[in-house]
Amino acid sequence: MSIVFAGTGVPGGRVIGATVRVDGDARDERFPPAEYAATVDRKTGIDPEQRLAMLDHRPVNRTDGGRAIDILF
């Protein structure tokens, strides 16, 4: 999977991670979806640690504990 980040001060031309040519499996760093969500939140000024209430009033963390990917800052 590939994701492109642009704007909000993301350094241009930056590539992180690499995949194995044969099966596309990650060879370097792996970032779970919660970390991508935390990165987008932090870049857009939203607190990634914010707690939200589900429809049943159950509190959940906005990014499920993910941490922003620091090398994109």
The predicted-structure confidence for 11-62, as pLDDT tens digits, reads as follows: 887 778 777 777 767 777 788 889 989 999 999 999 999 999 999 999 998 8
Q: What is the pLDDT of residue 9?
A: 83
CA-closest candidate to residue 49, choices 41, 61, 58: 61
pTM value is 0.73
Q: Classify burial at 28, counting beta carbons within 10 Å of its beta carbon; exposed 0-12, middle 13-18, buried 19 or more.
A: exposed
CA-closest candidate to residue 33, choices 58, 13, 63, 54: 63
pLDDT band at 1 (very low <50, low <70, confident <90, very high): low
33 contact partners, CB below 8 Å, separation of at least 6: 66
